[in-house]
Amino acid sequence: MDFVLRYRGPLASNGDRDDKHRIRLALHPQLQEMCRIFKPFELALTPNLPEVVLEGRQAKAPERCFFFWVRVGGIRVMPLINRTRTLECGLDVAILRREGPGAIFGSGGDLDNRLKTLFDALRMPLQASELPAGCGGDDLYCLLEDDSLISRVSVTAHRLLEPPTTGHRDTDVDLWIHAGVQSTSPMWGNLGV
Protein backbone atom coordinates (compact mmCIF):
# COMPACT_ATOMS: atom_id res chain seq x y z
CA MET A 1 0.00 0.00 0.00
CA ASP A 2 1.30 3.44 -0.92
CA PHE A 3 0.35 6.97 0.06
CA VAL A 4 1.91 10.43 0.12
CA LEU A 5 2.17 12.82 3.06
CA ARG A 6 3.01 16.49 2.59
CA TYR A 7 4.69 18.91 4.96
CA ARG A 8 5.39 22.58 4.34
CA GLY A 9 7.34 24.67 6.82
CA PRO A 10 10.55 24.72 8.82
CA LEU A 11 12.73 21.61 8.89
CA ALA A 12 15.47 22.34 11.37
CA SER A 13 18.86 20.74 11.41
CA ASN A 14 19.09 18.94 14.78
CA GLY A 15 15.48 19.90 15.47
CA ASP A 16 14.25 20.07 19.05
CA ARG A 17 11.05 18.63 20.49
CA ASP A 18 9.01 21.67 19.34
CA ASP A 19 10.27 21.28 15.75
CA LYS A 20 9.43 17.57 15.66
CA HIS A 21 6.02 18.02 17.23
CA ARG A 22 5.13 20.76 14.70
CA ILE A 23 5.71 18.19 11.93
CA ARG A 24 3.68 15.52 13.79
CA LEU A 25 0.77 17.95 14.14
CA ALA A 26 0.91 18.80 10.42
CA LEU A 27 0.85 15.10 9.43
CA HIS A 28 -1.83 14.03 11.95
CA PRO A 29 -4.91 15.08 9.87
CA GLN A 30 -3.41 13.47 6.76
CA LEU A 31 -2.91 10.19 8.64
CA GLN A 32 -6.48 10.35 9.94
CA GLU A 33 -7.73 10.83 6.38
CA MET A 34 -5.56 7.93 5.21
CA CYS A 35 -7.32 5.72 7.81
CA ARG A 36 -10.71 6.82 6.46
CA ILE A 37 -9.74 6.06 2.86
CA PHE A 38 -7.66 2.85 3.08
CA LYS A 39 -9.53 -0.19 4.37
CA PRO A 40 -6.51 -1.85 6.08
CA PHE A 41 -6.31 1.17 8.41
CA GLU A 42 -9.99 1.92 9.05
CA LEU A 43 -9.96 0.01 12.38
CA ALA A 44 -7.61 2.71 13.71
CA LEU A 45 -10.64 5.00 13.83
CA THR A 46 -12.59 2.62 16.11
CA PRO A 47 -13.65 4.26 19.39
CA ASN A 48 -12.35 2.82 22.67
CA LEU A 49 -9.22 1.15 21.35
CA PRO A 50 -6.99 -0.10 24.17
CA GLU A 51 -4.26 1.98 25.74
CA VAL A 52 -1.03 0.01 26.06
CA VAL A 53 2.20 0.44 27.96
CA LEU A 54 5.43 1.56 26.35
CA GLU A 55 8.46 -0.52 27.35
CA GLY A 56 11.63 1.06 26.05
CA ARG A 57 11.06 1.73 22.34
CA GLN A 58 8.24 -0.80 21.94
CA ALA A 59 4.54 -0.71 22.75
CA LYS A 60 3.40 -3.86 24.59
CA ALA A 61 0.13 -4.55 22.81
CA PRO A 62 -1.95 -7.70 23.33
CA GLU A 63 -1.73 -10.27 20.55
CA ARG A 64 -4.00 -9.42 17.60
CA CYS A 65 -4.45 -5.86 18.89
CA PHE A 66 -3.40 -4.13 15.69
CA PHE A 67 -4.26 -0.56 16.66
CA PHE A 68 -3.78 0.90 20.11
CA TRP A 69 -3.08 4.11 21.97
CA VAL A 70 0.10 4.80 23.91
CA ARG A 71 0.02 7.47 26.62
CA VAL A 72 3.07 9.72 26.43
CA GLY A 73 3.03 12.69 28.76
CA GLY A 74 -0.32 14.45 28.50
CA ILE A 75 -1.39 12.94 25.15
CA ARG A 76 -2.26 9.62 23.57
CA VAL A 77 -0.50 8.62 20.36
CA MET A 78 -1.38 5.90 17.88
CA PRO A 79 1.42 4.45 15.75
CA LEU A 80 -0.16 3.19 12.52
CA ILE A 81 2.89 1.23 11.36
CA ASN A 82 3.72 -0.96 14.34
CA ARG A 83 5.42 -4.20 15.29
CA THR A 84 2.16 -5.92 16.31
CA ARG A 85 0.90 -5.72 12.72
CA THR A 86 4.34 -6.79 11.45
CA LEU A 87 4.52 -3.83 9.09
CA GLU A 88 7.44 -1.80 7.82
CA CYS A 89 7.64 1.26 5.65
CA GLY A 90 9.87 2.36 2.80
CA LEU A 91 10.18 6.12 2.32
CA ASP A 92 10.86 8.15 -0.81
CA VAL A 93 11.30 11.75 0.30
CA ALA A 94 11.35 14.68 -2.10
CA ILE A 95 12.61 17.78 -0.34
CA LEU A 96 12.02 21.05 -2.14
CA ARG A 97 14.09 23.92 -0.79
CA ARG A 98 15.13 27.35 -1.93
CA GLU A 99 18.87 26.66 -1.81
CA GLY A 100 20.56 26.15 -5.16
CA PRO A 101 21.96 22.89 -6.56
CA GLY A 102 24.77 21.45 -4.45
CA ALA A 103 23.87 23.64 -1.46
CA ILE A 104 23.61 20.73 0.94
CA PHE A 105 25.24 22.88 3.60
CA GLY A 106 23.20 26.05 3.53
CA SER A 107 21.41 28.45 5.78
CA GLY A 108 18.69 25.87 6.50
CA GLY A 109 21.18 23.37 7.90
CA ASP A 110 22.82 20.27 6.52
CA LEU A 111 20.56 17.77 4.80
CA ASP A 112 21.37 14.68 6.88
CA ASN A 113 20.49 16.36 10.18
CA ARG A 114 17.33 17.85 8.71
CA LEU A 115 16.32 14.32 7.65
CA LYS A 116 17.01 13.02 11.15
CA THR A 117 14.57 15.63 12.45
CA LEU A 118 12.00 14.36 9.93
CA PHE A 119 12.50 10.68 10.82
CA ASP A 120 12.16 11.46 14.54
CA ALA A 121 8.93 13.35 13.76
CA LEU A 122 7.51 10.42 11.79
CA ARG A 123 7.73 8.13 14.81
CA MET A 124 5.70 8.47 17.97
CA PRO A 125 7.36 10.26 20.90
CA LEU A 126 8.75 7.71 23.35
CA GLN A 127 8.69 9.85 26.51
CA ALA A 128 7.20 13.07 27.79
CA SER A 129 10.51 14.91 27.37
CA GLU A 130 10.10 14.50 23.59
CA LEU A 131 6.96 16.65 23.67
CA PRO A 132 6.74 20.44 23.98
CA ALA A 133 6.33 21.77 27.51
CA GLY A 134 2.68 21.74 28.55
CA CYS A 135 1.66 19.51 25.62
CA GLY A 136 -1.67 17.87 26.24
CA GLY A 137 -5.14 17.40 24.94
CA ASP A 138 -6.06 15.80 21.65
CA ASP A 139 -5.05 12.33 20.49
CA LEU A 140 -2.35 12.15 17.83
CA TYR A 141 -1.85 9.71 14.95
CA CYS A 142 1.80 9.02 14.10
CA LEU A 143 3.12 7.10 11.13
CA LEU A 144 5.58 4.86 12.98
CA GLU A 145 5.93 3.16 16.35
CA ASP A 146 9.69 3.45 15.97
CA ASP A 147 11.95 4.69 13.17
CA SER A 148 13.57 1.24 13.06
CA LEU A 149 10.42 0.22 11.09
CA ILE A 150 11.73 2.27 8.15
CA SER A 151 12.96 -0.40 5.74
CA ARG A 152 14.31 1.80 2.96
CA VAL A 153 14.98 5.49 2.33
CA SER A 154 15.43 7.43 -0.87
CA VAL A 155 15.92 11.20 -0.81
CA THR A 156 15.92 13.64 -3.69
CA ALA A 157 16.44 17.35 -3.23
CA HIS A 158 15.02 19.85 -5.69
CA ARG A 159 15.05 23.59 -5.91
CA LEU A 160 11.76 25.15 -4.83
CA LEU A 161 10.93 27.82 -7.37
CA GLU A 162 8.00 29.26 -5.46
CA PRO A 163 8.84 32.46 -3.55
CA PRO A 164 8.11 32.42 0.18
CA THR A 165 4.58 33.42 1.08
CA THR A 166 3.64 35.59 4.03
CA GLY A 167 4.62 33.87 7.25
CA HIS A 168 7.13 31.53 5.61
CA ARG A 169 10.92 31.83 5.66
CA ASP A 170 13.46 31.32 2.89
CA THR A 171 14.72 28.22 4.70
CA ASP A 172 11.29 26.52 4.83
CA VAL A 173 10.87 23.34 2.82
CA ASP A 174 8.11 21.53 0.98
CA LEU A 175 8.31 17.78 1.64
CA TRP A 176 6.54 15.04 -0.30
CA ILE A 177 6.87 11.81 1.67
CA HIS A 178 5.89 8.74 -0.32
CA ALA A 179 5.33 5.85 2.10
CA GLY A 180 5.29 2.29 0.82
CA VAL A 181 3.89 0.02 3.52
CA GLN A 182 4.47 -3.72 3.40
CA SER A 183 4.13 -6.69 5.71
CA THR A 184 7.15 -8.48 7.12
CA SER A 185 5.01 -11.50 8.03
CA PRO A 186 1.59 -11.95 6.39
CA MET A 187 -1.31 -12.42 8.81
CA TRP A 188 -4.97 -11.50 9.17
CA GLY A 189 -4.27 -8.01 10.55
CA ASN A 190 -2.13 -6.86 7.64
CA LEU A 191 -3.85 -8.40 4.62
CA GLY A 192 -4.38 -5.86 1.90
CA VAL A 193 -1.37 -3.79 2.94
Q: Where are the domains of the chain?
A: 2-190
For residue 105, the model assigns a pLDDT of 46
Q: Is the Cβ–Cβ distance between 184 and 87 less than 8 Å?
A: yes
Residue 50 CA: distances (Å) to CA of 29, 44, 46, 128 = 21, 11, 10, 20
- Rounded to the nearest 5°, which phi and psi values hold at 40? -60, -15
Write out pLDDT tens, residues 126-170: 988 999 988 877 899 999 999 999 999 999 989 888 877 777 788
Q: Is the pLDDT of residue 84 over 90?
A: no
Q: Give the single-character DSSP code of 74.
A: B
